Amino acid sequence: MFKSLTDLVFRKNNSKVPAKNRLQMVLVQDRSGLTSTEMELFKKDLMDVIGKYFTIENTSLDVEWKRTDSETALVINTPIVGKLRVLQKEAASV
Amino acid sequence: MTGKAIVITSGKGGVGKTTTTANLGAALALKGKRVIVIDADIGLRNLDVIMGLENRIVFNVVDVVKGVCKPQQGYIKSKRSNNLFLLPASQTDDKDAVTPAEMAELINKLKAEFHFVLIDSPAGIEQGFRNACAGADMAIVVTTPEVSAIRDADRVVGLLSSQGIEPQLIINRVDRDMVKRGDMLSPQDVIDIIGIEQVGLVLRDNDIVVSANTGEPVVYNPKSKAGKSFIEIAERLMGSDLPIENPDISSSLWAKFSRKLRAA
Protein backbone atom coordinates (compact mmCIF):
# COMPACT_ATOMS: atom_id res chain seq x y z
CA MET A 1 0.00 0.00 0.00
CA PHE A 2 2.69 2.43 1.07
CA LYS A 3 4.88 1.31 -1.80
CA SER A 4 2.24 1.84 -4.44
CA LEU A 5 1.52 5.24 -2.93
CA THR A 6 5.16 6.29 -3.06
CA ASP A 7 5.37 4.94 -6.58
CA LEU A 8 2.51 7.16 -7.61
CA VAL A 9 3.90 10.26 -5.95
CA PHE A 10 7.60 9.86 -6.71
CA ARG A 11 7.73 8.23 -10.10
CA LYS A 12 5.14 10.08 -12.05
CA ASN A 13 7.59 11.83 -14.33
CA ASN A 14 10.06 9.01 -14.80
CA SER A 15 10.48 7.48 -18.21
CA LYS A 16 9.90 3.90 -17.14
CA VAL A 17 6.20 4.66 -16.67
CA PRO A 18 5.51 5.44 -20.34
CA ALA A 19 7.82 2.53 -21.29
CA LYS A 20 5.67 0.12 -19.31
CA ASN A 21 2.40 1.55 -20.59
CA ARG A 22 3.51 1.51 -24.20
CA LEU A 23 4.81 -2.03 -23.91
CA GLN A 24 1.59 -3.27 -22.37
CA MET A 25 -0.41 -1.71 -25.22
CA VAL A 26 1.80 -3.13 -27.94
CA LEU A 27 1.94 -6.59 -26.36
CA VAL A 28 -1.85 -6.84 -26.28
CA GLN A 29 -1.76 -6.41 -30.06
CA ASP A 30 1.20 -8.78 -30.52
CA ARG A 31 -0.22 -11.54 -28.34
CA SER A 32 -3.77 -11.33 -29.68
CA GLY A 33 -2.78 -10.84 -33.29
CA LEU A 34 -5.42 -8.10 -33.60
CA THR A 35 -4.73 -4.68 -35.12
CA SER A 36 -5.68 -1.64 -33.04
CA THR A 37 -8.82 -1.14 -35.17
CA GLU A 38 -9.86 -4.77 -34.69
CA MET A 39 -9.14 -4.42 -30.98
CA GLU A 40 -11.50 -1.43 -30.73
CA LEU A 41 -14.22 -3.41 -32.55
CA PHE A 42 -13.62 -6.35 -30.21
CA LYS A 43 -13.91 -4.07 -27.16
CA LYS A 44 -17.09 -2.51 -28.50
CA ASP A 45 -18.68 -5.92 -29.07
CA LEU A 46 -17.61 -7.03 -25.60
CA MET A 47 -19.11 -3.93 -24.03
CA ASP A 48 -22.37 -4.51 -25.91
CA VAL A 49 -22.60 -8.07 -24.58
CA ILE A 50 -21.61 -7.22 -21.01
CA GLY A 51 -23.89 -4.16 -21.11
CA LYS A 52 -26.88 -6.43 -21.86
CA TYR A 53 -26.53 -7.95 -18.39
CA PHE A 54 -24.68 -5.40 -16.28
CA THR A 55 -24.50 -1.66 -16.02
CA ILE A 56 -20.90 -0.77 -16.85
CA GLU A 57 -19.02 2.42 -17.43
CA ASN A 58 -19.12 3.01 -21.16
CA THR A 59 -15.57 4.20 -21.47
CA SER A 60 -13.52 1.79 -19.43
CA LEU A 61 -12.93 -1.75 -20.54
CA ASP A 62 -9.50 -3.06 -19.76
CA VAL A 63 -8.51 -5.93 -22.06
CA GLU A 64 -5.29 -7.79 -21.42
CA TRP A 65 -3.60 -10.92 -22.76
CA LYS A 66 -1.95 -12.18 -19.62
CA ARG A 67 0.69 -14.88 -19.73
CA THR A 68 1.05 -17.42 -16.99
CA ASP A 69 3.60 -20.24 -16.99
CA SER A 70 1.63 -22.53 -19.24
CA GLU A 71 -0.94 -20.48 -21.10
CA THR A 72 -2.08 -17.08 -22.24
CA ALA A 73 -5.36 -15.83 -20.79
CA LEU A 74 -7.70 -13.12 -21.97
CA VAL A 75 -8.43 -10.90 -18.97
CA ILE A 76 -11.26 -8.37 -19.14
CA ASN A 77 -11.54 -5.86 -16.35
CA THR A 78 -14.39 -3.39 -15.99
CA PRO A 79 -16.02 -1.73 -13.00
CA ILE A 80 -19.70 -2.57 -12.55
CA VAL A 81 -21.69 0.58 -11.88
CA GLY A 82 -24.79 0.37 -9.72
CA LYS A 83 -27.01 -2.67 -9.52
CA LEU A 84 -26.80 -5.61 -11.86
CA ARG A 85 -29.36 -5.36 -14.65
CA VAL A 86 -30.17 -9.06 -14.46
CA LEU A 87 -31.07 -8.76 -10.78
CA GLN A 88 -33.17 -5.68 -11.45
CA LYS A 89 -35.11 -7.55 -14.14
CA GLU A 90 -35.64 -10.53 -11.88
CA ALA A 91 -36.84 -8.25 -9.09
CA ALA A 92 -39.28 -6.60 -11.49
CA SER A 93 -40.75 -9.92 -12.64
CA VAL A 94 -41.52 -11.14 -9.10
CA MET B 1 25.24 -39.15 -19.06
CA THR B 2 22.08 -37.31 -20.06
CA GLY B 3 22.91 -33.67 -20.27
CA LYS B 4 20.63 -30.68 -20.56
CA ALA B 5 20.35 -28.74 -23.81
CA ILE B 6 19.63 -25.04 -23.38
CA VAL B 7 19.05 -22.64 -26.26
CA ILE B 8 20.01 -19.00 -25.66
CA THR B 9 17.79 -16.74 -27.72
CA SER B 10 16.24 -13.27 -27.74
CA GLY B 11 14.40 -12.26 -30.89
CA LYS B 12 16.20 -8.93 -31.10
CA GLY B 13 19.88 -8.80 -32.03
CA GLY B 14 22.58 -7.16 -29.95
CA VAL B 15 21.13 -7.85 -26.51
CA GLY B 16 23.92 -10.21 -25.42
CA LYS B 17 23.08 -13.76 -26.53
CA THR B 18 26.60 -14.66 -27.57
CA THR B 19 28.20 -13.06 -24.49
CA THR B 20 25.70 -14.91 -22.30
CA THR B 21 26.38 -18.24 -24.02
CA ALA B 22 30.17 -17.88 -23.71
CA ASN B 23 30.04 -16.81 -20.08
CA LEU B 24 27.49 -19.36 -18.91
CA GLY B 25 29.52 -22.05 -20.67
CA ALA B 26 32.71 -20.88 -18.99
CA ALA B 27 31.00 -20.54 -15.59
CA LEU B 28 29.48 -24.03 -15.74
CA ALA B 29 32.87 -25.44 -16.72
CA LEU B 30 34.47 -23.61 -13.78
CA LYS B 31 31.96 -25.40 -11.56
CA GLY B 32 33.24 -28.71 -12.87
CA LYS B 33 30.59 -29.46 -15.48
CA ARG B 34 31.47 -30.75 -18.94
CA VAL B 35 30.07 -28.18 -21.35
CA ILE B 36 29.81 -27.66 -25.10
CA VAL B 37 28.66 -24.37 -26.61
CA ILE B 38 27.32 -24.44 -30.16
CA ASP B 39 27.19 -21.43 -32.45
CA ALA B 40 23.94 -21.85 -34.39
CA ASP B 41 24.30 -18.53 -36.20
CA ILE B 42 25.33 -20.08 -39.50
CA GLY B 43 26.82 -17.50 -41.87
CA LEU B 44 27.46 -14.93 -39.11
CA ARG B 45 29.57 -16.74 -36.55
CA ASN B 46 30.82 -14.85 -33.50
CA LEU B 47 30.94 -17.16 -30.51
CA ASP B 48 34.47 -18.16 -31.58
CA VAL B 49 35.82 -14.60 -31.31
CA ILE B 50 34.04 -13.90 -28.01
CA MET B 51 35.75 -17.02 -26.63
CA GLY B 52 39.09 -16.19 -28.22
CA LEU B 53 39.16 -19.42 -30.27
CA GLU B 54 38.90 -17.98 -33.79
CA ASN B 55 42.36 -19.20 -34.81
CA ARG B 56 41.73 -22.82 -33.89
CA ILE B 57 38.75 -23.58 -36.12
CA VAL B 58 39.15 -26.47 -38.53
CA PHE B 59 35.65 -27.94 -38.87
CA ASN B 60 32.23 -26.51 -37.96
CA VAL B 61 28.69 -27.49 -37.05
CA VAL B 62 27.66 -27.99 -40.70
CA ASP B 63 30.63 -30.35 -41.25
CA VAL B 64 29.62 -32.36 -38.19
CA VAL B 65 25.95 -32.55 -39.20
CA LYS B 66 26.81 -33.54 -42.78
CA GLY B 67 29.33 -36.15 -41.64
CA VAL B 68 32.33 -34.40 -43.24
CA CYS B 69 34.17 -35.00 -39.96
CA LYS B 70 33.61 -36.91 -36.74
CA PRO B 71 31.83 -34.91 -34.00
CA GLN B 72 34.97 -35.02 -31.83
CA GLN B 73 36.99 -33.44 -34.65
CA GLY B 74 34.52 -30.55 -34.76
CA TYR B 75 34.80 -29.37 -31.16
CA ILE B 76 37.52 -27.00 -30.07
CA LYS B 77 38.74 -27.16 -26.48
CA SER B 78 38.81 -23.78 -24.74
CA LYS B 79 42.12 -22.26 -23.67
CA ARG B 80 41.16 -21.93 -20.01
CA SER B 81 39.29 -25.14 -19.25
CA ASN B 82 39.51 -28.82 -20.10
CA ASN B 83 35.73 -29.01 -19.52
CA LEU B 84 34.66 -26.42 -22.08
CA PHE B 85 34.31 -27.00 -25.82
CA LEU B 86 33.10 -24.92 -28.76
CA LEU B 87 31.37 -26.17 -31.88
CA PRO B 88 31.63 -23.16 -34.22
CA ALA B 89 29.18 -22.13 -36.93
CA SER B 90 30.08 -22.28 -40.59
CA GLN B 91 30.82 -18.85 -42.01
CA THR B 92 30.26 -19.79 -45.66
CA ASP B 93 26.94 -21.67 -45.56
CA ASP B 94 23.34 -20.44 -45.44
CA LYS B 95 20.94 -20.78 -42.52
CA ASP B 96 19.18 -23.64 -44.33
CA ALA B 97 22.37 -25.71 -44.66
CA VAL B 98 21.06 -27.80 -41.76
CA THR B 99 17.50 -28.80 -40.88
CA PRO B 100 15.85 -28.72 -37.44
CA ALA B 101 15.75 -32.55 -37.50
CA GLU B 102 19.50 -32.75 -38.12
CA MET B 103 20.20 -30.27 -35.32
CA ALA B 104 17.97 -32.19 -32.91
CA GLU B 105 19.83 -35.41 -33.75
CA LEU B 106 23.21 -33.77 -33.17
CA ILE B 107 22.16 -32.29 -29.84
CA ASN B 108 20.77 -35.59 -28.69
CA LYS B 109 24.16 -37.22 -29.36
CA LEU B 110 26.01 -34.43 -27.54
CA LYS B 111 23.78 -34.78 -24.48
CA ALA B 112 25.26 -38.23 -23.98
CA GLU B 113 28.72 -36.70 -23.71
CA PHE B 114 28.20 -33.36 -21.92
CA HIS B 115 26.39 -32.15 -18.80
CA PHE B 116 25.33 -28.98 -20.60
CA VAL B 117 24.83 -28.25 -24.30
CA LEU B 118 24.37 -24.49 -24.79
CA ILE B 119 23.10 -23.35 -28.18
CA ASP B 120 23.68 -19.74 -29.23
CA SER B 121 20.70 -18.83 -31.41
CA PRO B 122 20.81 -16.21 -34.17
CA ALA B 123 18.54 -13.15 -33.84
CA GLY B 124 15.15 -13.36 -35.50
CA ILE B 125 12.44 -16.00 -35.54
CA GLU B 126 13.12 -17.66 -38.88
CA GLN B 127 14.93 -20.86 -39.92
CA GLY B 128 18.08 -20.12 -37.89
CA PHE B 129 16.02 -19.72 -34.73
CA ARG B 130 14.04 -22.89 -35.48
CA ASN B 131 17.28 -24.82 -35.98
CA ALA B 132 18.69 -23.51 -32.70
CA CYS B 133 15.56 -24.52 -30.77
CA ALA B 134 15.30 -28.01 -32.23
CA GLY B 135 16.55 -30.42 -29.62
CA ALA B 136 16.59 -27.91 -26.74
CA ASP B 137 15.11 -28.97 -23.40
CA MET B 138 14.79 -25.44 -22.13
CA ALA B 139 15.41 -21.91 -23.33
CA ILE B 140 17.02 -18.84 -21.89
CA VAL B 141 15.55 -15.68 -23.35
CA VAL B 142 17.96 -12.76 -23.05
CA THR B 143 16.54 -9.25 -23.00
CA THR B 144 17.67 -5.81 -21.97
CA PRO B 145 15.29 -3.54 -20.01
CA GLU B 146 14.33 -1.69 -23.20
CA VAL B 147 11.00 -1.48 -24.97
CA SER B 148 12.16 -2.99 -28.29
CA ALA B 149 14.10 -5.88 -26.73
CA ILE B 150 11.24 -6.75 -24.37
CA ARG B 151 8.70 -6.72 -27.17
CA ASP B 152 10.80 -9.15 -29.22
CA ALA B 153 11.52 -11.30 -26.16
CA ASP B 154 7.79 -11.57 -25.53
CA ARG B 155 7.24 -12.80 -29.08
CA VAL B 156 9.97 -15.41 -28.71
CA VAL B 157 8.56 -16.56 -25.37
CA GLY B 158 5.21 -17.14 -27.09
CA LEU B 159 6.85 -19.17 -29.88
CA LEU B 160 8.91 -21.28 -27.43
CA SER B 161 5.94 -22.00 -25.19
CA SER B 162 3.91 -23.17 -28.18
CA GLN B 163 6.74 -25.61 -28.98
CA GLY B 164 6.72 -26.93 -25.41
CA ILE B 165 10.12 -25.47 -24.52
CA GLU B 166 10.18 -23.90 -21.07
CA PRO B 167 11.62 -20.36 -21.31
CA GLN B 168 13.42 -18.52 -18.52
CA LEU B 169 14.51 -14.92 -18.60
CA ILE B 170 17.91 -13.23 -18.26
CA ILE B 171 17.66 -9.47 -17.97
CA ASN B 172 20.93 -8.07 -19.25
CA ARG B 173 22.61 -4.65 -18.88
CA VAL B 174 20.68 -3.61 -15.79
CA ASP B 175 21.88 -0.23 -14.55
CA ARG B 176 21.19 0.03 -10.82
CA ASP B 177 21.23 3.83 -10.72
CA MET B 178 18.86 4.20 -13.66
CA VAL B 179 16.49 1.66 -12.12
CA LYS B 180 16.54 3.55 -8.83
CA ARG B 181 15.85 6.82 -10.64
CA GLY B 182 12.92 5.21 -12.41
CA ASP B 183 14.44 5.75 -15.82
CA MET B 184 14.93 2.05 -16.55
CA LEU B 185 12.39 -0.73 -16.22
CA SER B 186 13.35 -2.82 -13.20
CA PRO B 187 13.81 -6.59 -13.52
CA GLN B 188 10.51 -6.97 -11.68
CA ASP B 189 8.77 -4.72 -14.23
CA VAL B 190 10.17 -6.85 -17.05
CA ILE B 191 9.01 -10.06 -15.38
CA ASP B 192 5.55 -8.58 -14.80
CA ILE B 193 5.28 -7.56 -18.45
CA ILE B 194 6.55 -10.78 -20.04
CA GLY B 195 5.01 -13.08 -17.45
CA ILE B 196 7.78 -15.69 -17.06
CA GLU B 197 10.34 -16.28 -14.33
CA GLN B 198 13.86 -14.91 -14.47
CA VAL B 199 16.92 -17.07 -13.93
CA GLY B 200 18.98 -13.98 -13.22
CA LEU B 201 19.95 -10.46 -14.10
CA VAL B 202 23.28 -9.18 -15.37
CA LEU B 203 24.49 -5.73 -14.37
CA ARG B 204 25.74 -3.33 -17.01
CA ASP B 205 29.52 -3.62 -16.99
CA ASN B 206 32.27 -2.06 -19.10
CA ASP B 207 34.37 -5.19 -18.53
CA ILE B 208 32.13 -6.92 -21.11
CA VAL B 209 33.57 -4.69 -23.83
CA VAL B 210 37.12 -5.33 -22.63
CA SER B 211 36.48 -9.06 -22.51
CA ALA B 212 35.20 -9.07 -26.08
CA ASN B 213 38.33 -7.19 -27.12
CA THR B 214 40.61 -9.80 -25.61
CA GLY B 215 38.49 -12.91 -26.17
CA GLU B 216 38.43 -13.83 -22.48
CA PRO B 217 34.97 -14.36 -20.96
CA VAL B 218 34.32 -12.03 -17.97
CA VAL B 219 33.68 -14.91 -15.58
CA TYR B 220 37.46 -15.34 -15.43
CA ASN B 221 37.74 -11.78 -14.09
CA PRO B 222 36.94 -11.93 -10.35
CA LYS B 223 36.39 -8.15 -10.21
CA SER B 224 33.72 -8.05 -12.91
CA LYS B 225 30.12 -7.37 -11.80
CA ALA B 226 28.74 -9.06 -14.89
CA GLY B 227 31.06 -12.03 -14.39
CA LYS B 228 29.67 -12.48 -10.90
CA SER B 229 26.12 -12.34 -12.26
CA PHE B 230 26.91 -15.06 -14.83
CA ILE B 231 28.46 -17.32 -12.20
CA GLU B 232 25.33 -16.98 -10.08
CA ILE B 233 23.12 -17.85 -13.04
CA ALA B 234 25.27 -20.92 -13.74
CA GLU B 235 24.74 -22.02 -10.14
CA ARG B 236 20.98 -21.65 -10.55
CA LEU B 237 21.11 -23.71 -13.75
CA MET B 238 22.82 -26.40 -11.68
CA GLY B 239 19.89 -26.41 -9.29
CA SER B 240 20.91 -23.91 -6.61
CA ASP B 241 18.15 -21.67 -5.23
CA LEU B 242 20.48 -18.69 -4.86
CA PRO B 243 18.30 -15.58 -4.42
CA ILE B 244 18.28 -12.92 -7.15
CA GLU B 245 19.27 -9.45 -6.01
CA ASN B 246 16.64 -6.87 -6.82
CA PRO B 247 18.15 -3.47 -7.69
CA ASP B 248 14.74 -1.84 -7.31
CA ILE B 249 14.99 -1.98 -3.55
CA SER B 250 17.99 -0.28 -1.99
CA SER B 251 19.30 -2.25 0.90
CA SER B 252 20.47 0.59 3.15
CA LEU B 253 18.16 2.66 5.29
CA TRP B 254 20.01 5.75 4.23
CA ALA B 255 19.27 5.09 0.56
CA LYS B 256 15.57 4.80 1.34
CA PHE B 257 15.64 7.95 3.43
CA SER B 258 17.52 9.98 0.84
CA ARG B 259 15.15 8.85 -1.88
CA LYS B 260 12.25 10.22 0.14
CA LEU B 261 14.12 13.46 0.72
CA ARG B 262 14.88 13.86 -2.94
CA ALA B 263 11.30 13.26 -3.89
CA ALA B 264 9.80 15.53 -1.24
What's the pTM value of the predicted model, to 2 decimals?
A: 0.85
Contact assessment for residue B34 and residue B113, using Cβ atoms and an 8 Å cutoff: yes
pLDDT at B156: 96
- For A4, B25, B47, B89, the CA distances from B86, given in Å and listed in that order, are 48, 9, 8, 9
Strand arrangement, sheet containing B35-39 = B76-77, B84-87, B35-39, B116-120, B4-9, B138-143, B166-174, B198-203
User: Rounded mean pLDDT of B28-41?
Assistant: 97
User: Rounded mean pLDDT of B121-131?
Assistant: 95
Domains belonging to chain B, first-starting first, are 4-263 (3.40.50.300)
Percent of chain B with pLDDT over 90: 86
Contacts with A73 from chain B: Cβ below 8 Å: none
For residues B94 and B262, what is the distance between their CA atoms, to the nearest angstrom?
55
pLDDT by residue for chain A (94 residues), tens only, comes to 455 555 555 555 689 999 999 998 899 888 888 888 898 899 889 888 888 888 877 666 888 888 776 677 888 888 877 666 665 566 666 5
CB < 8 Å from A in window 177-196 of B: 181-186, 189, 193-196
Strands B35-39 and B116-120: parallel
Is A23 an interface residue toward B (CB < 8 Å)? yes
The CA-based angle A11-A17-A19, given to 5 degrees, is 150
Is B149 an interface residue toward A (CB < 8 Å)? no
Minimum Cα–Cα distance from B198: chain A residue: A69
Domain ranges within chain A, ordered by starting residue: 2-93
